[in-house]
Every structure is written in structure tokens, then in C-alpha cells.
Amino acid sequence: MFYQTLFAQELSKAQLDSLYNLFLYVRSENKIESDKPAGFPEEPEKCGFGFVNTIALNVDKFLPEQQAILKVLLQRPSLQTSTVTPKGYFRIHYDQSGTNAPGYSLAELAAALDSAYEFEVNYLGYPPPPPDNGAGGDDRYDIYILDLGGSYYGYTQFEDLIGNGKYLTFTVIDNDYQGYFSTGINGARVTVAHEFHHGIQAGNYIYRDSDLFYYEITSTAMEEFVFDDVNDYYAYMPDYFNNPTRAFAQNNGYNLAIWNIFLKDRFGFDILKRQWELMPSARALNAINISLNEKGSTFRNELNKFGVWTYFTNYRTFPGKYFDEAANYPLIRTTNPMIFTPPSKTFTMSSRPTTNYFLKIVDGRDTLISIISNSDIISGIDSVNTSFAFEYILYSDTSIADRKLADKYSAALIASPQNFWSASEILNNFVVNGDSTFKFFGNDKETFAFPNPYRYSKKYGLGNFIYFQIQAELGDEVDLSVITSAMKLVYNSKESVSFLPNGAKGIKYEVKYLDKKHLASGIYIYTIKIQDKTVTGKFVVFNE
């Protein structure tokens, strides 16, 4: 998707021109195949939410003559007539004849809209989109039917900013879904379930373009929750299953609807709503982790379990276990088979943050799948293209390493920082270790600091803090001191132990002197007193 490369950066003239031409074609009344602009989706895209609102939020950056046209196209469409759904939740705007005339039953569309509202608002408890002050004829949520010409299933467009990153919106959907994965009324069903949730997200929580993947994960999963029989999300799954080593935030979100399906199956619907309640003050990955902490788990553990679930699909499906519809899902891509040579072999690999790495090792008739998870949320927000090296060591003796694999092998994982990593193993299609825990070889320190080094010039997605992981109980009060390498005390306070972004327990420190000024560049020593025990360590600060 072209627009996904645009957020969080300045738009170039070429990018603005491409957006302009694409939107002009999407909204044109008489579309001609030969006139499709560069960047037009080769296949219908699930949603134009990010694309259209990139334009809406940057309209002043276009050329004056482009702005004049865009400001007209960004207004609510003017259509021939409208009708209200039976339960009174929506107003549907449509043309009775012409290019935009619906190619499916309006009665069935109205029923689908009311079903989406009943499920998402009345059953799941999300607040409805706020009223639009009578725009569209009344305060009902407005749906406009247009010929989108095989570009997008639909889009939810911002209209008025109502404060704190929230917007009034309306939704545009395609008029017939010819050539889409789900055609006719089924295409309309999944679209209204999807887009209505965008209206809920933007109207009640926050819009943050750098977390767009999560908006799409939630809305695409909502299609399955509201209309389980349509399964339009199947069309987008191969993109993730073929690329599981891509960082979470590098996905378009449509391909990861199964992440929310997984969380719903594990913890129920409430955890998904809780994540949206956290979103205004937390980046998406951190909101996910906090919600899991509240359920007694962590992103680290659940990412690894998710890896196991995504392995057992298609012909590997276990009926009654893992995903209900796993038999219809594609197979996850593993590494090419790597040959094991006894008595031991070290496999040196690298992984991006917030990913699962599926290492396939073959030893005669045995096939071992090691699912190695890197749950580094901080890098998953700020440094998605960074690769982190790790070593996986396999032994043909069960007594050598702590990770015993059935009665044939043992294994060890060497990676840093250790507490971001977890692993599960599947031997000959049976899970032999699936608890997502791993005892590491090497120096397993009691405490460590991250990010380290800390740079003031870098914008950290989880706030401007250094986090200290420590062995303590939640709620314990500890004494934190920070001193320079010349042994001068620069900071001291009492802190309460809580969950950290990596899912472990510890404390956080805003990187400042007691008078709130920034620290100078240098090496600092920290000491943390926990009851009758004191732990120490070092961190580096760059104050460029």
C-alpha cells in the first residue's frame, strides 16, 4: 500500500502528486481502465482509511490548484436519496440510477449495518462514533455508496477534529464489489463491520498514523467477529504467513487479523477493547503488552504461543485445538531445511523485533521446528528494520543443555537482551516445549537497563525513560540512585516495581537530574536497593 510509506515523514512533491492522482481516479465518475494512475492497487485493497486520511490531514501541502479539487472531493458525496436502517442507527446515502447505483440489496445492507452496530456497540461495549452535528441530515452515522472501481472496499474519512486526536467521520463503501474477493452483499457486509470500527476508533480513542497497522488488525478481525461466514480476511493472510519475520508494525494489518482472533480465543473480547482504552496514552504494541500484563501474561509469551498456533494450520491442523478455522489457513513459511550434524551444531541467525522466526532443522527422519520470538517492543516501535543476532545450539545429548527436547535432543539459545526472547519447539509435528520459557546459557544478570545507550536525540515510542529490570515483586518499593563515574550523586528516589515494556518486572527512570535538567553525556552507575540486597549496573547517555 503506497500510503503506508508516508506516515511520520515529510511528503515529497512526487508522493503528493501520486496521492492526488490516485484519489482523483478513485472518486471519478467515469473510470477508464487505461487511465489508472501509478500506485493503483493491482487487486482491491481492503481499506482506504490511511490513504484518504493522509490526504485529508495534508491537504495544505498540495499545489493550490490540487487543493481546490481535493477540498471538493473530500466533502461528503452528494447523492440522490437516502434511507434509515430499520433500527435507526445509520443513514444510507445512495443514487437510484447511474454509475453509483447499488448492485446489491439495500435491505440486506441495512440489516448488515444494524448487525454491526448491535455487535460492536451493544454487545462488545464500544462507544458509538460521536454524533456529527446534523451533517448528512441528522446525527445518525452516515454511509455513502459510490463506485470505487475496484480500488478499495471502502474508507472512513475524517471530517472535523474534536480534540485529542479524535475525529468526526463518515464512511464510503463500494456499490457492487465486482472483482473483489468477496462480491456483492458479502463484500458490503465485511466492509461495514470493518469501517464502522474505524469510526469508533477515530471518534472515541485516537488516530495515530504510525500505528496504522493496529487500526487495520482490529477492523479486519471485527469482520470475522461480526460476519463469521464471509471470511474475506483469508485473501490477505498469505502475506503474513509468507513473511513472519517482518516486524509487527511493518505489516498492513489486514494480514494479521488472526492476531486479534488469537487474543480473543485466549482471553475473550474484553482484552481487545482494553487495548483501545490504553491507545490514547500508549503506542499500540505497548497497549497490547499492558493489556496482557493485566491478564497475567506478556507480549513475549503470547507472541511465542501465537507462533505455535500459526504453525498448526492447513494439513497440520489439530481439530479442536488452536485456530477454529486453521484448516483454511495457509502454511507458515519456515527457513529452508538446515541439516543437523551430531553431536552438536550452532545455527547463527538474526531476527527483527516483534517477530517469530521459524527455524527448520532436519536430522535423518526427525524434523525440528524451533519458533524463536523476539518481543523487543521498544525496537518494534522505533527500529523495525534493526536485526538482532542470536545463536540456537542443538545437541544430540539430552543432558547437555537445559532445554530438553523429548528423549533425543537438548537445545540452548544465546541472545541479548535475554528477556526479550522466548522459544518453543515442535519435533515431528508434536510440541515438545511450548511454554515460551527458556533458560539461557551465559551470564544471566539479575538486572539490566534498556535502552542502553540512551540518546536524547532519539524519540523513544515508550517515553523518555530508561527501564531497569530487577528481580522483585510487583508493588515492592525500591531505592534508586544514579551517580556519575566520578561518584557524584545526580539522582535518588523511591520507586514502585511494576511491569516493564518487555513484560518483565522493574522500575523506570526519567533520564534527568533531580532538578529535571538533562544528564550530560557520559557513563553512569545505578544502584537499586531491594530490601536487604543492592544491585548495580551501568548505562551510557549521549546528550548530542
What is the gyration radius of the CA atoms in the chain, in angstroms?
26
- Residue 118 has what DSSP assignment? I
- Torsion sign over Cα 45, 50, 53, 58: negative
DSSP string, 62-103: S-HHHHHHHHHHTSPP--SEEEE-TTSSEEEEE-SSSTT--S
Handedness of CA 182, 187, 190, 196 (dihedral sign): positive
Q: Give 461's contacts (C-beta < 8 A, 6+ positions apart).
A: 283, 285, 286, 378, 381, 382
Cα angle: 485, vertex 488, 492; to 5 degrees = 110
Q: How many CB atoms lie within 10 A of CB 512?
A: 14
Residue 492's pLDDT is 93
For residue 103, what is its C-alpha cell? Answer: 448492485
Which residues have a Cβ under 8 Å from the Cβ of 469 and sit 6 or more positions away?
A: 419, 447, 448, 449, 450, 500, 502, 504, 505, 506
d(CA 211, CA 204): 16
Tens digit of pLDDT at every position of the chain (544 positions): 444 445 445 788 888 988 998 898 888 877 676 677 777 777 788 999 999 999 999 999 999 999 999 999 999 999 999 999 999 999 999 999 999 999 999 999 999 999 999 999 999 999 999 999 999 999 999 999 999 988 899 999 999 999 899 999 999 999 999 999 999 999 999 999 999 999 999 999 999 999 999 999 999 999 999 999 999 999 999 999 999 999 999 999 999 999 999 999 999 999 999 999 999 999 999 999 999 999 989 899 999 999 999 999 999 998 888 999 999 999 999 999 999 999 999 999 999 999 999 999 999 999 999 999 999 998 999 889 999 999 999 999 998 988 899 989 999 998 877 778 999 999 999 999 875 444 433 334 456 787 878 888 876 656 678 888 888 888 899 999 999 988 889 999 999 998 777 667 889 999 988 888 899 998 899 999 988 888 888 888 888 7
CA–CA dist 114, 108 (Å, integer): 10
Among 541, 474, 542, which residue's Cα sits nearest to residue 506?
474
Which amino acid would we find at residue 529? K
Nearest to 48 by CA among 149, 146, 151, 121: 151
Query: What domains are there in the chain, each with its CATH number?
Result: 334-433 (no CATH), 448-542 (2.60.40.3080)
